[in-house]
Amino acid sequence: MTERGQFATRLGAIAATVGSAVGLGNIWRFPYEAGQHGGAAFIAIYLLCVVIMGVPVIVAEFVIGRHTHKNVCGALRQLSPGGKSHWFSAVCITASILIISFYSVVCGWIVEYLIQAISGKLISAQDHNAEFEQFVADPYRSVLWTVLFLIANFLVLRRGLKNGIERVANVMMPLLFVLLMVFCVNSMLQPGAEKGLKFLFSPDFSAITPHVAIGAMGQAFFSLSLGLSCLLTYASYFKDSDSLVKNATVVAILDTLVAVLAGIMIFPIVFSYGMTPEAGPKLIFEVLPSIFQQMPGGYVLSILFFFLLFMASITSTISMSEISIAYFGEELRMSRSNASLLNTALAVVLGALCALSFGVLSEFKIFGMTLFELFDYVSSNVLLPLGGIFFSVLMGWVIDRRLVEDELSNHGKLKVKMARPIIFCLKYVAPISIVLVFLYGLGAFNWLL
């Protein structure tokens, strides 16, 4: 059975939680979503979602996790009436494994590109588009890198909370910020950088459709690691003296900052080198390598860039894995090593299938989607928002208000002015908005459009 630990320091707890939030969602997805959907207008809606839904749901997960100091199943058993809602932990654990499976495929690509950057192959390649298409379709290479990435993930997890998760986050998070700043400065110094900044920051409200607004909300959920009990699990390792509202605010601010900095790092160079930002998801694998090729210092920059992505992604997969590892350890009484191994084995099998979705399994479709797309769709668009509703309703309506207030104020030791607005958002704003999004997704408002 796993020893229940705590993060050694408050800074370590924040580094690990920010590490979870900051990932491919910020550096890879946010910039192209914002770029394609109205720039500053998209960012404004995104920020609104972070404030009225993101922070309150983070706080909800933090309260549940820190109060119980248990894995998601144990926590729900303790806090829901009659312990009945603990079945929801199965949804969280399933969602977390689905997300790791498709996410680690992209992480595998990052590792391949990092190695190629180090070996100098990336900088000398002829046609980056063709190389990328060929690579993702290659069954051996893409599976191999996905599996190697998951092994790296396993090696950190097996070392436990303080020596594995916290230590890695303490080193990688500051380094990530430093590298981001270096890239931002480099990007702004390129000739014509203003065009990229204009593209990212000039608001185009006409680009905001309901579809885009919903995209912004989904992005906020994914980026903040919400609705999956990931933050609940990390908060179960927080100290009783930590301020939950402060921690939640710091995490939300830093996560958003990284997303915006990633946009500043990417778009000015894309415009400066005469490329188009429309490449979307393939931007970082096809467009950026060809830019590094032409840029002074491109060899070093390409290595640092993929290293930055590697750090951002592994601290996120570590946090997704911890949900099931805590469950396996505490509920199934497995040792930390075995729990990490089981998590990795599941992710390897499903991750390999997702990796093959770009090649030999590309014709294998369920509801018209490849496995990679299906896992992404089901977890990000269905299970995460469902988790968001679940945790906000649980905290807003079900859990005793005194318990919530005690937890937010550390039993009266802290003055928390934000408790009321947060609970209001959890009771009304978050669940209603998320339900509206669901209905919209099901086409219930088509008559309006």
Interface ranges with ligand PFF (CB under 6 A):
20-21, 23-26, 96, 99, 222-223, 225, 228, 230, 316, 319-320
Q: What six digits make up the tokens of 49?
A: 């979602």
21/295 with CB nearer ligand PFF: 21
**Interaxial angle between packed helices 88-119 and 298-330, expressed in degrees from 0 to 180 and rounded to the nearest 10:** 150
Residue with tokens 């179960």: 236
Shortest distance in whole angstroms from residue 110 CB to ligand PFF: 12
Residue with tokens 């399994």: 361
Shortest distance in whole angstroms from residue 283 CB to ligand PFF: 16
Beta-bridged to residue 369, according to DSSP, are 366
Q: Which of 105, 54, 19, 119 is nearest to 281 (CA)?
A: 105
Shortest distance in whole angstroms from residue 255 CB to ligand PFF: 7
**How long a stretch of residues is the chain?**
449
92/334 with CB nearer ligand PFF: 92
99/425 with CB nearer ligand PFF: 99
43/99 with CB nearer ligand PFF: 99
Cα 265 to chain center, whole Å? 19
Give the type of residue at 106. Answer: V
Shortest distance in whole angstroms from residue 190 CB to ligand PFF: 26
72/230 with CB nearer ligand PFF: 230
223/343 with CB nearer ligand PFF: 223
Q: What six digits make up the tokens of 201?
A: 């920051």
Give the type of residue at 195. Answer: K
Shortest distance in whole angstroms from residue 319 CB to ligand PFF: 5
Q: Give the contacts of 259 (CB within 8 A, at least 6 positions apart).
A: 25, 26, 27, 30, 31, 46, 223
Residue 347 CB coordination number (10 Å): 29
Residue with tokens 């992404």: 376
Shortest distance in whole angstroms from residue 384 CB to ligand PFF: 7
